[in-house]
Structure formats: C-alpha cells, structure tokens
Amino acid sequence: MKRIKTSTLLLLVLVLLLTSGCQRTETIETKSDRPAPSSKIISSKTETKLEKKPIAIIPNRLWIPSIGLMAPVKPVGLLKNGQLEVPKSSEVAGVFIEGVLPGQPGNAIIAGHVDNYKGPAIFYPLKKLKPEDPVLLSDEVGNYLVFRVVAVESYPTAKAPLEKIFGDTNQSQLNLITCTGKYNRKKKEHEKRLVVYTRLIK
C-alpha cells in the first residue's frame, strides 16, 4: 500500500480545519500535558557551548496592543472527525499543539471566533491589524515571544492557500486564523477566512 507523506496528510486534515473552525458551534476544551522544549548543552573535550534553538512555548496569553486585544489561549487538537477543536468560550483563542508550536520553525496556528450569536467575539478586531504591528505570546512560566505582522489576507474558504498557511518553512511564523465575510445560515459558517501572517522577531 502506498504511503502518504506526513506533511501531505497533515495538509489534508487541515483542509477540514479551515472549513470547520468558523462554525458558530462550541466544543469541549482540552488540556495538554506536553512539556515545553528546552535547549541542550553540547560539550566536548575542547569546548562547551550552548546550542541555540528557537524557544517553543505553549502560550496561555495573547496580547496585540495595536487593537487592544488581550486574550487567554488554550491548547487545542483534532476531534475524531478531523475537525479542529475550539475553546468553549468565544472569548478564548486556541493554539493548535499537534503541529508546529509558536517559536519553532514552521507555521504555528492560533484560531479564534470572530463572532457568536450575541455579537463580536475575541478575534473580531483582527481585520484592523497592519504590517509591522507586534503580536505577543506568553506562557504560564513567564516565557514570551514577540512576532510582527507581515500581512493580513482574506480568502474564500475553498480557495485558501493551505500550503502558505500550514506548510513547511524555515522561518518561525505564527498565523492567526478566524472567519470573515457574510455568514451563511444554511451552511452555518462564514464565507471567507481571515489569516494574519506574523513572523518571530524576539
């Protein structure tokens, strides 16, 4: 039987993430027991040096000063049906921990609701972001990362560039994903996806 590459399989799963994460439904929150990666000290007879690696964190707080957004962040994964698990509260963002973590080379993902039945939700103001705006993440032990907005783009759901959003890259990037456009009551989802592309600077 022909094997499917892990990266290809992940992209296929993420197609479901992109089309399901913006429905006005709520699911159960999850917690992660995965420890944050740490740096390794490499020693030899001639020298001892610290191997510099990107600090990866599982954030519990997101702060975007330019739009006045400060939000708790919860770890999320995949449900059995392949859909992205989202925090129960529409005022909480979810960091996808079954892929690249923030700080690691690659595209880390944080998703959040744009609205709910009562009105705007946590990621409603993302559309106001502009290139160079800072995005800060911190974890429960005080580690923090600073990203800077590179671009803000919106796409029809079926035409979202999955490789650009979720694919491999040598850069440490963080993509914030939410919904935008009109809400289709029949399909129970918004017609477009908004992606804020950011890159690690500190």
Active centre residues (catalytic): 113, 179
Q: Counting every residue, how long is the chain?
A: 202
Rounded Cα gap, residues 133 and 38, in angstroms: 28
Query: Environment class of residue 106 by beta-carbon count within 10 Å: exposed (0-12), middle (13-18) or buried (19+)?
Result: buried
125/146 Cα distance (integer angstroms): 19
Cβ neighbours of residue 92 closer than 8 Å, sequence gap 6 or more: 29, 71, 72, 73, 74, 112, 122
Q: How far is CA 152 from CA 28, 29, 47, 85, 140, in A?
A: 29, 28, 45, 24, 28
- Tokens standing for residue 85: 């698990």
| CA separation, residue 183 to residues 17, 19, 154, 155 (Å) | 18, 13, 15, 14
- Going by their DSSP bridges, the two strands 189-200 and 144-156 should be labelled as antiparallel
